Structure 1
Amino acid sequence: MAVQVDDLPLPPDEPEPDPDGAADAEKADILVVDDLPEKLLVFRTVLEELGQNLVLVRSGADALREILQREFAVILLDVNMPGIDGFETATLIRQHRRCRHTPIIFITSYADEMQTARGYSLGAVDYILSPVVPEILRSKVAVFVALYQMRRQVRRQADARAAVMAAQAARRVAEANDRRSAFLAHASRMLSGSLQITVAMNALAGLLVPELATLAVVLLCDADLGAGEMLAASGQAGGAALQLSTGREARLHEQVRGALHDAAHTRQPVRLDPEALAVLTPAAFGLSAAGETFPPLRRAQAVPLVFGERVLGAVLIACSDVGESGAADAGLLEELAARAATAFENARLYLVLQREMLERQAAQEELQRTNRRKDEFLAMMSHELRNPLAPIQTAVQVIRRVAAPHPKVAWALDIAERQLKQLTRLIEELLDVARISQGKIVLKHETLDLNAVIAQSVETVQPFVDGRRQALKVVVPQQPAWLLGDVARLTQVIANLLHNAAKYSPEGTGIELLCWLEEDEAVLSVRDHGIGIDAALLPRIFDLFEQGERGLDRAQGGLGVGLTLARRLTEMHGGRIEAFSEGPDRGSEFRLRLPRVGRVAPATGQALPQETAMAPWREALRILVVDDNHDAATGIAAMLELEGHAVCTAHDGEQALSAATTHRAVVVVLDIGLPLLDGYEVARRMRAQPLLAGALLIALTGYGQSEDRQAAMEAGFDHHFVKPADPQLLLACIRQWSRQQAPGGAGERRPTVNAS
């Protein structure tokens, strides 16, 4: 809201002052309101050069008391004050007739469009951001002081003509302020009308030409916005329509391009010299003259577009008439540049957000492609690995039929069949996961009794449980628990849970399978007393290939797909599966919930534990075989027995150290990945014992990298074989070492034993 001079209050009639007091009588009163003493000191320092009377107060209430006692030429009012803030103080000031039209300049450290509009609605004549520029503040206050003194002088001299001229001058100033405020408000609306950078550039060009300049060039300097893109515009007031031209900055003349980059680099306006002005013609930007002729340009400057610490671009304006400076003053251009920089920053953030969304979308699509390729690979690998299983199974059966009865042959074929079944199970799990991921598994739904499925599942895993000397307790309802599902797949789910419970529980422990009926569900719980599940792993336990941390022994083995398969098959039946554990070594529980098609009462039942045992073999050179895989240890022992050696086996590090001393072994075939103590530590402790210091230590392990071989040598091993090792090479190594220990051999003779 602009203030016009003829609306300014006239001072009350006063007697003519004496000549000695004339100077004091000419001084105007200036009211400064701010709650901070240090800022009042700054205002005093800045304004005391005006030679006027400064009244400094620290609150709105004090300001209201002062305006009741005297009249002020201008009021400088801080917006943010405790108690009565600047806007409330201005409202109260306007309620007094004496100060209804007193010019108010708001001082603030922050102002947005809404706050500025409110200030002008209260009669503010200007808005100055803090910290203030002394020259600007002093000049603006001086204008209003001069206007006030002019009105007082007009009244004193009763010069009607002078009063009219002063009023007209003040009106022009007010109208200019009105035009400035309206222009900036319009500029803000135009620049913020879109988040597209091209639209913002066009809007800025339309604001500059022809209102403020005859020709304008907007150059982008920020990489996110497309550094090097430029827009040129030309036009004249009353001439043809605005002309625009876009392109790269390479089209610009070297001097023009240099001025724009200098402004962006220094963050300060840069004026063009007359030589550079000569090259600023519409034709240089692919534009035609607006009208018959294009007037020569008189002045031009480049202004940076800065938002915070980021330089977004620069704008060059050129004017053909020096008189245009009245509208395009430096302050107005700087404010317009600041608003344009805000609009450009919003457009940049929008572009960055769009780019990030596209990148996330591309990453998601790539992840989907990766998952699809993984599923295809699992399916292909499972099929390819399953192909050799049939001939292996056939070969085992042929050997059973044609080979002469022999305990070792029967034992070897038993091992082959057990390992073949394990390999088949792992491959089937991989294949099933791939099938489910590709949607290729179709359930054969039928009405079934969950008790029958449980019995079939227990039968499937009973040999594995018995082999680990574990007791399986089964409690099921007395009446049938009717479900709608696929018998084979539900058997697979329950057997998988039981197999996991047995695999991750120590030998000789108990496993419980409990089943009961709830309102609409049949619930099956498998509980063990094994290694438990870490809290960090529990939320991911059903993820594909997810397993807990394992040591070198890999005692539990597996691929980490069994639980994933169980969950997906359960979900295909409309059920869900949950995992519970109190932490490591506290056991775990897996609870399966399936929808029922009938209701029966729960009851209890039993299961019968069974035990199995293995006996060691002994033969001639005293050899110790250590492997946590019983079949692997027994197989190597049998092969060495056939050579006439006395062999014993151990299945963990502590057993190995004890057996090596008891058996007085001279050769130790030692696995690296052992429970309790790994093979490296066992080898180091054996080398520290006098009886084993000269023994032949052979590492037989699945860890076959060069660093693994180096670690084995440093631990005291003599040789390093990678599984599956060639039996003949292993035997040749032992025979060579034995020959070296014989009289005349290269090494010291080790004691041997005869076959017994």
Structure 2
Amino acid sequence: MKQAPLNIEEEYRLELQRFLESPGEKSLRRAYEIGREAIVAGKGLLEMGAIHRVVLGDLLRAAGSVEECYRLTLRAGEFHSESLSPFEMASRGYQETNAALQRSLNNLLAAQEELRRNERHFRSLIEHALDIISILDSSGVIGYESPSIERVLGYSSEELVGQNAFSLIHPDDLPGILDLFSQKLRAPGSSASGEFRFRHKDGTWRILEGIGTNLIHDPSVRGMVVNSRDITDRKKLEEERSRLLVREEVAQAEADANRRLNLLAEASSLISSSLDYETNLAAVAHLSVPYLADWCFIHEIDEGGVLQRLAVSNCGPEDGDALRALQSRRALELDPSGTFAKLIGTGKPELVSELGDDALLALASGDEQLALVRGLEFRSALIVPLMGLGRPLGCITLVLSDRGRSFGSRDIALVEDLAHRCAAAIVNARLYRDVIRERDKAEKASAAKDEFVAILSHELRNPLMPILGWARIFRNQDAVMRDSVLSEGVRSLERNAQIILRLVEDCLDLTRISERKIRLDKKVIDLNEIAESSVEAAREMAKEKDLRLVVRLHPSNLCVMADQTRLEQVLMNLLTNAVKYTPNGGAITIGSRRVDGEGEIQVKDTGIGIAPDFLEQIFEPFRQGSNLWLATESGLGIGLSIVRQIVEMHGGRIWAVSEGIGRGSAFNLRLPVTAVSPAVAAPLAPAGRAREGQKPMCVLLIEDSADVLYLMKLELGWLGYSVLMARNAE
């Protein structure tokens, strides 16, 4: 197909390019022919000049340097001059066109010089900038690296160009950076920022903050442009500042915690200093302001259910008159359906943002105080009930007047702890008061009991003395003892009178011990001698029940410091119990030995035994080993209690051992031994009978009981004394 003819501008452009590529006469002839064609087409000189400027401008923009532009302009001028030769006035048109071209060339040269200056300025900024400018391709390979990389990371630009930037990023940071990079690859023109660690040339890690912009589709860039800045020092400063802030916060928290602990410790010390809880709680109220609140009220619900204000304290001296008016202890009228009563009843702390009159009435008493409290501008309150024994005992009310303060969770927890301690103080004081009240009742009852027992025992001893005395007299009368019935009656009379006398003596001893009226007459005695004398005293009782008495004493003396009478009383009690609770035909063993610097006496029987649960209880007053003891013999169950107390008064100990009911029992008594031997007392000569030729010794008897008086006169007379009697000392 035949191509369409080109227009003058296209033809001019084509031939000019050919001329510039291959100058010669042939090309110049084409310039002349184009000029002729332009004349034929009606083109003028100015139009041809405009076509030349357009074509030349396009060529100059594609030129690489100013020298090239200058060369192109001259060569193109030659071509243009030839194209104008057909025109009349060619020289004039050439001059005009050339002048315009010269102006354009000068403008272009000036623009290029400005471009060079800007390029030098930009390059200087890039080279001296703190930021690193990098251009990466879509796989992360570095295509350009600004010179500042060497100052920041130690690498030269040439060292990094061609490397993959991701290979120098810290492994922990790499996944996030790769994910961000891939997101931005899918969004041309978008930007994203991030922080990551980059390996320095010396092997250390520096923290960089980078902003990446996707310019891969921009023909002039074709890459991901990343501006990075070293923020390692800033990060260190931030971390140090964070550590300092943390330390400061920790120090403040510790100081606050210490202050709270000190407050609780001081409050605990105040509360526990005495059982006067009202005074102590007033001190706690004073301690609570101004640290916890501006005002502190402590109320108590007494045992009658009446709410009473115990304490008030505030931190402002300007409110002194109000404080004095509110400090008087008064019973307050509490509406059961009101807010205050409901809050106390919940048993939980409650924040009240606005205090109504029903709550203010719980803080004030009467219209005058209510008006006073209203004037104090109470803003908010924290009400914490005092709970004890499963019910509300009162409350602590902390009030704020300052609008710049508020109660936090730690304040509530602290006041709850404080409330628990205050409630415990009230409970302890009330329990102590109840204990004292009950103790006083018990002491009065015990004193009355002891007085009754002492009187009863005394009254029982008086008639017992004649009974025992006449029984001894009858037992020494041959006429009475030859009669089997009378002899048995006398023995029974004496035996039962002795039992009653022992019970009476036990009651008196128990009373003396409780009143600490027993005095020990201690001296060095031999336990073996006490054991032997006690065995002999009990032998008659054992014989009546056909019991075998086995004595196994330590071969040498076991000397102790003791009251002989009381120690004999202890052993006689143990032997009497052994006889009482051992069936006929049984055996009782009395032994002594030295154990670890102590002397021990053991009374062991084959009797009814003691239940394991009762081995300690039998030493309590009015307790016995089992019901079998009750069924065996009469007794009050106080003998062993007296025995233990006497032994402990001697610095010793006593305990029982038994394998159970029906297995017998053993009582072990231990006392500290002494190295001093017992003194041997010289036998006393009978003082009653007068020697031959001497008058009998005269004895004055004063006794209000006529029966006892006559009996003693009779027995003393038989001993050879002369007796004078009187019923009283008058």
| TM-score, normalising length: structure 2 | 0.47
Larger RCO, structures 1/2 (Cα 8 Å, 6+ apart) = 1
For the pair shown, the structure with the greater C-alpha radius of gyration is: 2
Greater helix percent: which structure? 2
